[in-house]
Amino acid sequence: MTHCIRSRQTLPILATLLGLLLAALAQAESALFSAEGYRIAQYRSPTPAGIEHAHTLDTPALQRLVAADPRTALIDTYRRQWLNGQFIADEVHANLPGSLWLANTGDGELDGQWQHYFSHHLEAVSQGDKGWPLVFYCRSDCWLSWNAVKRAQRLGYHNLYWYRDGVDAWAQAGLPLLPAHPAALP
């Protein structure tokens, strides 16, 4: 009988603790994303397997896509320090051959200057065609390209791809990387 009474007393305590834990997890998760759904913190951490409104690619799938449609635009979203109106090359960055490097456009929150930079270059590379195939990438375990896919979709682009493991997977496959420079601000 004593065992039954203790069990009845323990259940409400466990339920309360579970509720508190779930609330804490939800609060921690909400601190990682903006109200619009962009990742705003801990950009270098495990990413989901896919993203809504885009096809997730591995290296062979990317190679097949580019072979089937050579106009496919590869968009690198890796960050580059911006200081006093210019990009600061604090380290060498290499990306996939033929890529357009739109540095800093994968951040979760973009001010007007970076939003214009992103939309201007997407408009140019797609020749104004919202159905142009656009592949966004960064590195593995990097949310910058995930954010950029969401941002492109919100601009009306609808033929979107996410090369989830990016530069790291390309290099691991023994494929060439070329020294890169970010596209100029318009």
pLDDT at site 181: 97
Same domain? 18 vs 73 = no
Segments forming the whole domain that contains residue 129: 55-179
> Is it the case that residue 83 has pLDDT exceeding 60?
yes
The per-residue pLDDT for range 103-157, each reduced to its tens digit, is: 999 999 999 999 999 999 999 999 999 999 999 999 999 999 999 999 999 999 9
Same domain for 150 and 68, yes or no, is: yes
Cβ-based neighbour number of residue 77 at 10 Å:
28
CATH number at residue 129: 3.40.250.10
Shared-domain flag, residues 83 and 173:
yes
Q: Is 25 found in the same domain as 67? A: no
Residue 92 lies in a domain: yes
Judged by average pLDDT, the poorest of 1-10, 63-72, 143-152 is: 1-10
Model pLDDT for residues 164-180, shown as the tens digit of each residue = 999 999 999 999 999 99
Kindly report the pTM of this predicted structure. Answer: 0.84
* 161 and 93 within one domain: yes
37-53: pLDDT as tens digits? 999 999 999 999 999 99
In the chain, count of helices (H) and strands (E)?
5, 9
19 band by pLDDT with thresholds 50, 70 and 90: very low
Residue 48 domain flag = no
Q: In percent, how much of the chain has pLDDT > 90? A: 83
Number of domains in the chain: 2
The answer to the question of residue 120 being in a domain is: yes
Q: Establish if 41 belongs to a structural domain.
A: no
What burial class does residue 147 get, using C-beta atoms within 10 Å of its C-beta: 0-12 exposed, 13-18 middle, 19+ buried?
buried
Answer yes or no: is 44 within a domain. Answer: no
- 51-78: average pLDDT: 98
Closest-CA residue to 74 (of 181, 144, 163):
163
Please provide the average confidence, as pLDDT, over all residues in the chain: 90
- Whether the per-residue pLDDT at 11 is higher than 80: the answer is no
Tokens describing residue 166? 């990016």
- Does residue 45 lie within any of the structural domains? no
Domain co-membership, 77 together with 14: no
